[in-house]
C-alpha cells in the first residue's frame, strides 16, 4: 500500500474473476491476432427454461465481455439428443436478449459477427479429434457391459480396475469407432474412453478414470437429424467447443472443479495435434446461486410444470426468467441483484428478500403511482349529490413532478378497503369508525378529495358490514384554501364506484413456505405455499383501463404491480403483484 496522498487509489477489481481477467490483460496472456483478449461464453443445455441461477451466469459472462471490450458467445450444449427441444433453444435466446445481452458484434468494417453457436456445429471436428486421440493412443473403444464398467470404476476409496479392452491395438479401436459411427452397433454395445495416463484408473479423481467421450445413441437430434448415431459426451465436447471458439476464460460453477484436470489434459493433448489457436482456454469456477424459497433445479421446476402445480414455465411464481418477467421483474432489477450478490467461490444461500429488495429499488423511482382497492367495501357520502362528480388530481410520482398529474373523479359512492373501517376501533386506529355513544364518528380525509366524517354503516343479514356512510365537508377539498382548516389523522385511498375499472388482480407471494425447500432431501412439493397465488376482483382508478401489458405501477399502500403480458385485454388489464411495499417475511 502506498501512503503517497497524490497517487490515486487503485481501482479494486470487484471480484476474483475480474482480478484474473485484469491480470491476464496486463500480462497479455490472450493476445491473438484479430481477436478480443476476453472471450467468455454462456453454455446452456437446451433442456429446460433458464432460471435466476442462470441469470447470475449470464450477467457474469456477458458482463465481463462488456466491461473489458470482449465478447461473450451464447452456445447451446446440445449433445444429448433425447432431452433437447427447439422450444428450449427459443426461450433461452429470448431470455438472454430480455436480460439486455446480445451476441451480435459489429466489426470495424461494418460487418456483424454472430456469436450464437451450437456444440452440434462441431460434431465433425469432435469426431476427427477423437480419431486422432485413438491414433495417438489417448483413447480406446471399450466393449465392457455397462455394469462391468461401473463396477471397474471403483469408488472414492477404491482405485478402479483397467478394462480388459484398454490395451487393444489402436487400429482395432479405430475400426470399432468407425463402425460405431457407421451404425453397426446397438446403443451401449461399445463406448469410446479417454486414457489420460497409464495408471489413470487409479487416479483419486474419478473424472480421470478413463472418462467416456463418445457413446452410441440411435436418436434423432434437433439440428443434425439422423446424421449421427454416436454423440460426444459433455466433458469431451465442452473444452473443445471452448477452444474452437477461442474462449479465454471458461467460467463454470464449482461442481466442475474436479473436471478441470480433464479439461486441461484434453486441450493440452489436442493442441499438440495443431487443432487450436493458442493459448487454449482456462476454466475458472465460482459458486452457484442458491436462492431461498425457490428451487432452481431444472428437473424440479419441470416437475412443478408437468404436475400442473404451477400454470406453466412462465407462471409468475416460478424462479424462471420467463416467470420473473411475467411477474413484473425488470432486467435492471435482475442486474442489480447479480451485482449485489457478487461472485465468490464460497457456497452459500442468498435470501429471497435480496431479490425482492432489488425490484423495489429499481421500480420505486420510476413506477407511476395508481390507486387500487383490492378488498372493496362501499362508502356512501350521504350529503354528496347523486349523479355529481368532480375531478381530483394527484402527482403521477411524488418525487418526479415531470411525470405529470393524474386525475380521477370523486362521486357519491366510492370503494374503500375493507380494513379501513372498524365497527369498534382498536387503540390508535385513525381510519373510519362510527359514532359511539355521544362521540362522533371518525374524521378521515379521502386522499386528494374531501374530509369526511363517519355517520353510520350497513350490515347484511349475516352481520357483515356492506357499506359505510359518511358526510363530507364541502370546503375541505385537497388543494383548496379550506382544506387546512381540517386536521385529521386518517387519510385513506379510494376509487369512485361509478368510474372504477374492475380488474382481476393476482396477489403472488413466495412459492414455498420453507427457506430451503429441497435441501437435505426434503420433499419440496409438501412445502409449497398454498397462499402463493390469491386472485381478487379489485377496483382501480379509471386511468388503469389504458394500462399496457408489461406496464408497471405502484398501487399505493399495496406494492408494485404489472399488467399481465399474457392475459390482459385492451381496456381490460389483469394485474400481477410483483412485490409488496415492505418485506413481510423476515418478521415471520
Interface residues toward ligand ATP, by CB under 6 A: 43-45, 53-54, 56-57, 252-253, 288-289, 296-298
In sequence order, what are the residues at sequence separation of 6 or more whose Cβ sits closer than 8 angstroms to the Cβ of residue 461? Answer: none
Least Å distance, CB 104 to ligand ATP, is 21
Active-site residue flag, 366: no
Q: Which is nearer to ligand ATP, 246 or 320 (CB)?
A: 320
**CB of 57 or CB of 73, closer to ligand ATP:** 57
Residue 534 grid coordinates:
390469491
Cα separation, 251 vs 209, whole angstroms = 24
Cα dist from 496 to 415, 446, 492, 542, whole Å: 6, 11, 13, 9
Is 47 marked as binding a ligand? yes
**Of ligand ATP, Mg ion, none, which one does residue 43 interact with (CB within 5 to 8 Å by kind)?**
ligand ATP
Residue with CB nearest ligand ATP? 53
87 is in an annotated binding site: no
Instruction: With CA atoms as reference, report the closest residue to 324 among 55, 45, 44, 538.
Output: 55
Cβ-based nearer residue to Mg ion, 45 or 339 = 45
Q: Could you tell me which of 15, 587, 63, 576 has the C-alpha nearest to residue 334?
A: 63
- Distance between CA atoms of residues 30 and 28, nearest Å: 6
CB of 43 to ligand ATP, least distance (A): 5
- Helices 260-271 and 123-135, axial angle in degrees (round to 10): 80
Determine whether the annotation assigns residue 253 to a binding site.
yes
Q: Is 351:292 a contact under the CB 8 Å cutoff?
A: yes
CB of 43 to Mg ion, least distance (A): 9
Q: Which of 56, 298, 325, 327 is catalytic?
A: 298
The yes-or-no answer on residue 345 being catalytic is no
Residue 123: exposed, middle, or buried by beta-carbon count in 10 A (0-12, 13-18, 19+)?
buried
CB 511 within 8 A of CB 317: yes
Phi-psi region of 358 (alpha: psi -120 to 50; beta: other; left: phi over 0): alpha
Q: Is 46 annotated as a binding residue?
A: yes
557, three cell numbers: 399502500
Among Mg ion, ligand ATP, none, the one that 44 touches (CB under a kind-dependent 5 to 8 A) is: ligand ATP
- Least distance (Å) between residue 258 CB and Mg ion: 15
288 is in an annotated binding site: yes
Which of ligand ATP, Mg ion, none lies near 66, with the C-beta cut-off 5 to 8 A by kind?
none
Measured between alpha carbons, how far apart are the two ends of the chain, in Å? 46
Using CB under 5 A, which residues numbered 17 to 46 contact Mg ion? 45
Q: How far is the CB of 82 from ligand ATP (least distance, A)?
A: 15
CB within 8 A of 400, min separation 6: which ones? 365
Q: Which does 40 bind (CB under 5 to 8 A by kind): ligand ATP, Mg ion, none?
A: none
Residue entry with cell 460487418: 111
ω into 337 cis (within 30 of 0)? no
Please choose which of Mg ion, ligand ATP, none residue 54 contacts, taking the beta carbon within 5 to 8 angstroms, the exact cut-off set by kind: ligand ATP
The answer to whether residue 298 is catalytic is: yes
Least Å from the CB of residue 238 to Mg ion: 10
- CB within 8 A of 83, min separation 6: which ones? 45, 47
Q: Which does 252 bind (CB under 5 to 8 A by kind): Mg ion, ligand ATP, none?
A: ligand ATP
Rank residues 44 and 239 by Cβ distance to ligand ATP and give the closer one: 44
**Is 374 assigned a ligand-binding role in the annotation?**
no
Annotated ligand binding at 77? The verdict is yes
In the complex with ligand ATP, the residue whose CB is nearer, 252 or 322, is 252
Q: Which three cell numbers stand for residue 395?
A: 402527482
Q: Between residues 103 and 185, which has the closer beta carbon with respect to ligand ATP? A: 103
Which option in ligand ATP, Mg ion, none does residue 57 bind, with CB closer than 5 to 8 A by kind? ligand ATP
Residue among 357, 322, 366, 320 nearest 336 (CA):
357
* 234 marked ligand binding residue: yes
Catalytic pick among 178, 223, 288, 378 = 288
* Least spacing, CB of residue 165 vs Mg ion, in Å: 29
Q: Per CB under 5 A, which of residues 44..73 are in contact with Mg ion?
A: 45
Look at strands 249-253 and 282-286 and give their pairing: parallel
Nearer to ligand ATP, 176 or 291 (CB): 291
Grid cell at residue 338: 447479480
Shortest CB 259 distance to ligand ATP, Å: 11
**Among 352, 396, 241, 429, CA closest to 583:** 352
Min dist. Cβ of residue 78 to ligand ATP (A) = 10
SS3 annotation, 277-337: CCCCCEEEEECCCCECCCCCCHHHHHHHHHCCCCCCCCCCCCCEHHHHHHHCCCHHHHHHH
CB 494 within 8 A of CB 564: no
Is 277 or 297 the residue whose CB approaches Mg ion more closely?
297
Residue whose entry in the numeric block shows the C-alpha cell 366524517: 453
443-446 and 413-417 beta bridge pairing = unpaired
> What cell does 468 get?
359505510
Measured from each CB, the residue nearest to Mg ion is 45
Applying CB under 5 A, the site for Mg ion has a residue count of: 1
239 binds, among Mg ion, ligand ATP, none (CB under 5 to 8 A by kind): none
Give which of Mg ion, ligand ATP, none residue 53 binds (C-beta under 5 to 8 Å, depending on kind). ligand ATP
Considering the complex, state which of residue 45 and residue 567 has its C-beta at the smaller distance from Mg ion.
45
Mind telling me the catalytic residues?
A: 45, 288, 298
Binding-site residue ranges: 45-47, 77, 234, 253, 288-289
Binding-site residue ranges for ATP: 45-47, 253, 288-289
Binding-site residue ranges for L-glutamine: 77, 234
**Residues of the shown chain interacting with Mg ion in the complex, contacts defined by CB under 5 A:** 45
Amino acid at each position: 500500500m502506498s501512503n503517497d496522498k497524490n497517487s490515486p487509489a487503485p481501482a479494486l477489481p470487484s471480484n476474483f474473476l475480474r482480478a484474473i481477467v485484469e491480470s491476464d490483460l496486463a500480462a497479455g496472456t490472450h493476445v491473438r491476432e484479430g481477436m478480443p483478449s476476453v472471450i467468455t461464453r454462456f453454455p446452456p443445455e437446451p433442456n429446460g427454461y433458464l432460471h435466476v441461477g442462470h441469470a447470475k451466469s449470464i450477467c457474469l459472462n456477458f458482463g465481463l465481455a462488456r466491461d473489458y471490450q470482449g465478447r461473450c458467445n451464447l452456445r447451446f450444449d446440445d449433445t444429448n439428443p433425447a432431452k433437447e427441444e427447439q422450444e428450449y433453444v427459443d426461450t433461452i435466446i429470448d431470455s438472454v436478449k430480455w436480460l439486455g445481452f446480445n451476441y451480435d458484434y459489429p466489426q470495424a468494417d461494418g460487418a456483424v459477427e454472430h456469436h450464437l453457436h451450437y456444440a452440434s456445429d462441431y460434431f465433425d471436428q469432435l469426431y476427427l479429434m477423437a480419431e486422432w486421440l485413438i491414433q495417438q493412443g489417448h483413447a480406446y473403444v471399450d466393449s465392457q457391459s455397462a455394469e462391468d464398467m461401473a463396477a471397474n470404476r471403483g469408488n472414492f476409496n477404491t482405485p478402479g480396475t483397467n478394462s480388459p479392452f484398454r490395451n487393444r491395438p489402436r487400429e482395432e479401436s479405430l475400426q470399432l469407432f468407425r463402425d460405431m459411427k457407421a451404425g453397426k452397433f446397438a446403443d451401449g454395445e461399445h463406448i469410446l474412453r479417454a486414457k489420460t495416463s497409464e495408471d489413470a484408473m487409479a487416479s483419486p479423481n474419478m473424472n480421470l478414470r478413463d472418462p467416456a467421450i463418445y457413446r452410441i445413441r440411435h436418436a434423432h437430434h434437433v439440428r443434425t437429424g439422423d446424421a449421427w448415431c454416436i454423440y460426444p459426451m459433455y466433458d469431451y465436447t465442452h473444452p473443445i467447443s471452448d477452444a474452437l471458439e477461442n474462449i479465454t476464460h471458461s467460467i463454470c460453477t464449482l461442481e466442475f472443479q474436479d473436471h478441470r484436470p480433464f479439461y486441461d489434459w484434453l486441450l493440452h493433448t489436442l493442441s499438440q495435434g495443431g487443432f487450436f489457436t493458442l493459448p487454449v482456454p482456462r476454466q475458472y469456477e465460482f459458486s452457484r446461486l442458491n436462492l431461498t424459497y425457490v428451487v432452481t433445479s431444472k428437473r424440479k421446476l419441470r416437475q412443478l410444470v408437468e404436475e400442473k402445480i404451477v400454470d406453466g414455465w412462465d407462471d409468475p411464481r416460478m424462479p424462471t426468467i420467463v416467470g420473473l418477467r411475467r411477474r413484473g421483474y425488470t432486467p435492471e432489477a435482475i442486474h442489480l441483484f447479480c451485482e449485489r450478490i457478487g461472485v465468490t467461490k464460497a457456497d452459500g444461500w442468498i435470501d429471497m428478500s435480496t431479490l425482492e429488495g432489488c425490484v423495489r429499488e429499481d421500480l420505486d423511482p420510476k413506477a407511476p403511482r395508481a390507486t387500487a382497492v383490492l378488498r372493496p367495501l362501499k362508502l356512501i357520502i350521504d350529503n354528496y349529490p347523486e349523479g355529481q362528480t368532480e375531478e381530483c388530481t394527484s402527482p403521477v410520482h411524488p418525487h418526479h413532478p415531470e411525470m405529470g398529474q393524474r386525475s380521477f373523479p370523486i362521486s357519491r359512492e366510492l370503494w374503500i378497503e375493507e380494513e379501513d373501517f372498524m365497527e369498534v376501533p382498536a387503540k390508535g386506529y385513525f381510519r373510519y369508525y362510527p359514532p359511539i355513544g355521544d362521540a362522533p364518528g371518525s374524521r378521515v380525509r379521502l386522499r386528494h378529495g374531501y374530509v369526511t366524517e363517519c355517520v353510520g354503516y350497513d350490515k347484511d343479514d349475516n352481520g357483515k358490514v356492506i357499506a359505510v356512510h359518511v358526510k363530507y365537508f364541502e370546503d375541505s377539498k385537497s388543494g383548496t384554501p379550506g382544506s387546512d382548516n381540517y386536521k385529521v389523522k386518517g387519510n385513506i385511498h379510494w376509487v369512485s364506484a361509478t368510474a372504477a375499472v374492475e380488474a382481476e388482480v393476482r396477489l403472488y407471494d413466495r412459492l414455498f413456505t420453507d427457506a430451503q425447500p429441497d435441501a437435505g432431501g426434503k420433499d419440496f412439493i409438501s412445502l409449497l405455499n398454498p397462499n402463493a397465488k390469491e386472485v381478487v376482483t379489485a377496483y382501480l382508478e379509471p386511468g388503469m383501463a389504458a394500462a399496457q401489458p408489461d406496464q408497471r405501477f405502484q398501487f399505493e399502500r399495496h406494492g408494485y404491480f404489472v399488467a399481465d403480458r399474457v392475459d390482459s385485454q385492451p381496456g381490460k388489464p389483469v394485474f400481477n403483484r410483483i412485490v409488496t411495499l415492505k418485506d413481510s417475511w423476515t418478521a415471520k
